Structure 1
C-alpha cells in the first residue's frame, strides 16, 4: 500500500486539478468563441492572457490570435496593460508577451496568418518590438509567416516596419534575414510555392534583390514558377469547354500595387477590413462554380503577370554549355568509344542541378513562359543544358510538341542548327522519341496502349521528316540507332497494345455476331406475319415495311462486314509499324460499321412497332423513334473519345494521299529555294508545282 500524501503534496495536487479544470474551461470557451467567458476566466489566473494553456506551450493570447478572434485579442491586450507586474520584475509581462510555444511561434507569428488582426499586431509590436525579429524553430519570422499564408495586408504592414528599422542603416545582410528562413527559402519562394502570385508580384517588384536568390535546392523564383504548369492557361491540358468558360470570365483588379508602396500604405485601415468581411459574406451568395472559375482565371492572370516580371530580370540562359557536339555522326559500330561515352564514365554528379527556366518551362509544357523568354531574348533558343540538349531535345523527350511546333514555325533559321545537335550521349532529336522521361509520364492519360503507341509512332515519323538523312541511321554512344532505341523502349507498350487490340476485337466481334443473328432471324419473322395462301407478307404494301426491309438488310450487312474487319485484326502479325496506321484504321472501320449496324437494327425495330400500331397518333410514332435511338446515342457517345483519338490516323492517311499527288500551288519558300533536279512530273510537262519531299528547315 502507498503511504498517504503529505498535506503539502495534497495541496499541490489540488492546485493542479484546479488549474486543469480552468484550462479545460478556457480552451472550450476559446473554441466556442465565447469571449466573455474567456475574459472572466483570465481574471482568475495570475498571468491572465499570458497563462500557458496547451500542452504545446501556447498561451491564451496565442490561442485567441490563432482563432482570429479580433475583438477578443484586443481585450486581452488591454487586460495585459491593466495587470500589475510582480514586484521582482517590472518588465515581467512584456517579457511574457514574447513567449514562444514549443515550435517557436510568438503571438505575432500567429497574428501574421490573418489580415483581420493587423491592428492587434500593431499593439503587439508597440508593447514588444522584439517580436518583429524573433524566429521560430524553422527560422521563420512573422513577416515570413505572412508570406507563407498569403496575407498581403499583414505582409505590407510588417514589411513597412522592417523598412522603418533599416531606413537609415545600410546593413543589407541583416535586412535580408527578415525575408529568409534557415533553409534559404525566401518570402518570394514561399509565396510562389503556396501559389499566392499577387503577393509574389508585390514582393518581387519591391524587393528585386530577391528575384535572383536561390533556395536550398538552388532554385530561383522563376524556376519554381516554371515547374508549376497548373498555374497557366495552357501549361496544363484543359478541355475546350473549360477553356471557353475561362476566356469569358472577367476578373477585377487585385489591388496590388506594381511599384513600391510607401510606409503609409502598408497599414490596413478599418475600412479595408470591413470590405474584406463584406466580400466574404457576398461570396456565399454567388454561384460556386462560376466563382471557382473566376478565382482560377484570376490566379492565371496574376501568375502570368508575375512570370513576365521575373523573365524581364532573368538572364540564366546566358550560362550555356558549348554547342559543339561531343560525338560525330556515326553509322557503324567499329572503332573505339566516342568522346561522349568516355566523359560519361568519368563524370558523375550526385547532386542534380536545376535547369534554367527555359528548359523547366519546356519540360512542364508552359508555352507562355517559353514564348515570353524567346520574345525578349530570341538568342536563348540556342541554349544548351549540362547534358548537351537544346530545347528541341527536351520538348520531344517530354512530349511537349506544342513547344516544338512553336520553335519550328517561328525560328526557321535557328532550326537549321538545332536539328543537327546531338547531346552528350550522342542522341539526336530522333533518338529522344524513344527515350522515356523519368517522372513526367502522362499520369492522367487514360487512353489505350494502342493509341499511345500510335502517338509515339506518328511523332517518330514527324521528327524523321525534318531531320537530315544521315542522322536517321546515326548511332549514339551506346551503339543504337534511333529506330532500334525506339523499338527497345516501346517493347512493353507494344505488348500491352497488342493485348488491348486483341481483347477489343474479340469483344466487338461477339457483339457484331449477335446483331447479325438477330437481323437474320428478323428477316424470316416479318411484322404482321405472312398470307397463308400466297406466302407474301400481309403488310407488304405499307411504306414502313420497305423501311423495315432495308434497315434489316443493312444491319446484317454492316454486322457481318465488321466481323470480317475484327477478324483481320485478330489475325494481324502486330508488327510495330502496323500500330501507326493499319491497325488503328481497321479498328476505326470496324467500330464504325458496328455503330451503323446497331443504328439500322434500331430503325428496323422502330419500323416494326409503327407497322403494328400504324393507326396511332403522330406523337406516338415520334416517341417510339426517340426511344429507339436512345441506345444508339448512348453507344455512339461512349465511343466518341475513341473516335477522336483515332482521327489522327485518318488525318495521317489524308496527308499521305495529299503528298502522293502534286499540288497546284506556289509557295514562297519554293521561290527562295535553290533549283533542284526536275522530277518526273516536271519532265512530263505538268503545270503543277510538286510539293517538295524534304523539309525547308534542312541545310
Structure 2
C-alpha cells in the first residue's frame, strides 16, 4: 500500500524526533513498519535514516539498521543525498563510525570510489573533516584496492584542490603529513588559486609551540601529569576531557612542525618571485616639482592583466603577511637566499613585516646581518622605503583592541626602530605621492594622535581628581590622630606599634598622591608630539598610576591601623582577618586591573636590555670569545658575517 504525502510527513517527523532524542528502539520500530526501512529518506535534503544515524555518531543504531537491509538491496546503499554524499561519506565526519564504514564497504564496496557533487570521495571527505581514525581505515581500503591512474579520483577534487590542500585547511597536520609522505607528488601541485600546499600552510598560521610563559609551563605540567592519569583510566570525565584536549593540542603542534619542515624541504615554490627592479610603471620628476606617471607601451597589457590575476606570493612572504614566524624562520634556515623575495608590488619581507606589524619577523631578519644590509634602502614599485611602510598599516581584525594612545606608541617606536636600520637617504626619499616617510606617518596618524591626546588628557584629569581627594584625606588624617592627644599635645597611642604603622602609611599615601598629581598635570600640559608617545609621556602615565595605586593602598593601610587602634583592639583574630579582607578588597581589584599593563612594560624593558647587551657584546667581541652569528638559529645556519656588501 502506497504511503500518502501526509503519512510520509508524519513518519519523517516521528523519525527525526526519535533520532534527535536518541530513542534507538523507536527508530528501529518505525523503520520496520515502512517499505524502505532504514533507506527511507527523512530530511528535505534526501538523507536516509542510515545517513542521519551515521552522521550523529550513533554507531550501534547504524549497525542495527544495516542488518535490516537485505542482501538483495545492498545496491540501494549507494543512495546519495542532494549533496551527493553516500552513507560512506557520512562516516568520514567522525571517528566513531569505523565499524559502520567497514560493514558498509563489505556490503557495497563500490561506495569507496563514489564521489559527491564536489568530486570528493569518502576518503577526501574524511580528510576535509580532519578525522584521523576513519581516514586511516579508508586510506587502508583504498591502498588495498586501488593503484595507478585510478588514484587520482581519491587525491583530487573537481576544482583542482588536492587532498593535501584540504587536510591542511582542516588543521589535522598528522593527516597532512601522512599524505605528503605517501604521495610526495602532491606537494608541488597547485590548486585553482595557484597555491601549493606550503603556500597554503603559510597562510593558515599553524601553532608550533604554546605561546606565553604561563601556557608553556602549564603545557609541561599537564603532559607530565596526564601520562599517569590517562593510563589509570580515571572516571572523572572533566579531567579526562581537559587532559585529552591538551594532548591533542600538543599532538597538532608537533605534526604541524614536522609538516612544515617536510614541505619546506620538498617545495620549490620559494624560487618563483617577482623582480624588484622590473615592471616599475612610475617615474618621479622631482626636479620640476611635479609628479608625472609614465607608462611604457609594453606595460599597458601588463597592467591590464595584472589587475585581473597575479600569482600568489611565495611561502616566505605569505608566512610574513599572516605572522607565521616559525615558518619564516625554517624557510630562512633552509634557503637563506629567499630573504630577497619580493611580491607583485616590489615589497620585500621587511616591507611586509612592517606593514602588517610582524615584530617577531623583523627580529628574525634583523639578526641576519648580511641579508639585512641587502634589504636596507630597497624601494617598492611606488618608491616606498621601509620607513614609508611604518606610516601605512594593514587594518586587520584583532582580538586585543588597543586604545589609540597605545597604538600610536607602538607605531612611533617601530618608526624609530626602522629609522635606525635604514640609510639616512631613506628619511628624505619621496614616494610616488611625493611624500617623505615622516609626512606619510604624520598624515596617517593625524586623527589617531588627536584621539590619543583626548584619551590621555581625560585619563590624567580623572586620575588627578582622585589624587587630590586622597591627598586631602591623608593630610586631614595628620590633624585627626587616632586616640587624640594628651594635655601636652602628644598622641595618646604613640607607644602602640600600630600607631607607627599609621604614621608611615599616611605619610607615604600623601607623598605618593602629590607626586602622581604633579605627573598627571605634566601630562595634561604636554604638547603631545609624536615622539612623546614613544618615550616620556607613557612612562609618566604608568609611573603616576603606580604612585596612585601605592597611595590608595597606603590609605587603606592607614585606615586599617586606625580601626585596630581605636575600635577592634583586643578582638578575635578572625574578626580582624575578615575586616582586613573587606578593607583591602578595593585595592586588590585596583591592582589587578593594571597588572597586565605593568607586565607588558616589564617585558619591554627586558627585551630592550637584552638587545642593548647584545649590541655591546657585538661591539666589543674582540675582547672576549663572542660570536654574533651564534645568537640566532638563522644566523647560525648560514654562518653570516658582519661585513657589508660592496
Q: Is the TM-score greater than 0.5?
A: yes
Contact in 2 for aligned 1:466/1:697 (Cα 8 Å): no
Match of 1:509 in 2: 464
Q: Which consecutive residues of structure 2, in runs of 5 or more, have no partner in the other structure? A: 626-641
Match of 1:130 in 2: 110
Q: TM-score by structure 2 length? A: 0.84
1:191 equivalent in alignment to 2:167: yes
Contact in 1 for aligned 2:291/2:432 (Cα 8 Å): no
Contact in 1 for aligned 2:126/2:134 (Cα 8 Å): yes
Q: Shift of the alpha carbon at 1:131?
A: 2.2
Q: TM-score by structure 1 length? A: 0.78
Contact in 1 for aligned 2:370/2:645 (Cα 8 Å): no
Match of 1:105 in 2: 85
Partner Cα distance (2:421, 2:405) in 1:
25
The SS at the match of 2:155 is: coil
Deviations, residues 465-507 of structure 1 (Å, cap 9, x unaligned) = 1211111211112111111111111122212211110111011
The SS at the match of 2:320 is: helix
The SS at the match of 2:386 is: coil
Q: 2:134 aligns with which of 154, 163, 166?
A: 154
Match of 1:8 in 2: none
Match of 2:431 in 1: 476
Contact in 2 for aligned 1:428/1:471 (Cα 8 Å): yes
Single out whichever of 594-603 and 24-33 deviates more from structure 2: 24-33
Contact in 1 for aligned 2:207/2:256 (Cα 8 Å): yes
1:246 equivalent in alignment to 2:216: no
Q: Shift of the alpha carbon at 1:115?
A: 3.9
Match of 2:537 in 1: 583
Matches within 5 A, 1:300-319: 300-319=253-272
Q: Shift of the alpha carbon at 1:332?
A: 6.8
Contact in 1 for aligned 2:95/2:131 (Cα 8 Å): yes
Matches within 5 A, 1:406-485: 406-409=364-367, 411-438=368-395, 440-441=396-397, 443-485=398-440
Partner Cα distance (1:593, 1:252) in 2:
42
Q: 1:526 aligns with which of 481, 495, 508?
A: 481
Deviations, residues 189-232 of structure 1 (Å, cap 9, x unaligned) = 22221211111111111112222222233322222222222533
Deviations, residues 322-371 of structure 1 (Å, cap 9, x unaligned) = 24385899987746647799979946523464222111111222221111
Distance 1:117 1:616, change over 3 A: closer
Deviations, residues 365-423 of structure 1 (Å, cap 9, x unaligned) = 222111111111121112222221111111111111111112221x2111111112111
Q: 1:384 aligns with which of 342, 366, 387?
A: 342
Matches within 5 A, 1:591-610: 591-610=545-564
Deviations, residues 498-551 of structure 1 (Å, cap 9, x unaligned) = 1110111011001001111111221221111233x4444333455544443443
Q: 1:359 aligns with which of 308, 312, 317?
A: 317
Contact in 2 for aligned 1:232/1:366 (Cα 8 Å): no
The SS at the match of 1:422 is: coil
Q: 2:59 aligns with which of 53, 67, 70?
A: 70
1:214 equivalent in alignment to 2:196: no
Partner Cα distance (1:178, 1:201) in 2:
17
Query: When the two structures are aligned, how many residues end up with a matched partner?
Result: 621
Partner Cα distance (2:593, 2:296) in 1:
50
Distance 1:358 1:534, change over 3 A: same
Q: Shift of the alpha carbon at 1:665?
A: 9.7
Q: 1:538 aligns with which of 468, 488, 492?
A: 492
Match of 1:7 in 2: none
Partner Cα distance (1:546, 1:38) in 2:
80
Match of 2:37 in 1: 48
The SS at the match of 2:239 is: coil
Q: Which consecutive residues of structure 1, in runs of 5 or more, have no partner in the other structure? A: 1-10, 84-92, 254-275, 673-694
Match of 2:250 in 1: 297
Structure showing greater radius of gyration is 1
Distance 1:49 1:287, change over 3 A: closer
Single out whichever of 373-382 and 637-646 deviates more from structure 2: 637-646
Distance 1:578 1:65, change over 3 A: closer
Between structures 1 and 2, the one with greater helix share: 2
Partner Cα distance (1:603, 1:252) in 2:
42
Match of 2:49 in 1: 60
The SS at the match of 1:52 is: coil
Single out whichever of 102-111 and 24-33 deviates more from structure 2: 24-33
- What is the aligned-residue RMSD (CA, Å)? 4.0
Partner Cα distance (1:554, 1:585) in 2:
21
Partner Cα distance (1:434, 1:509) in 2:
34
Partner Cα distance (2:217, 2:37) in 1:
58
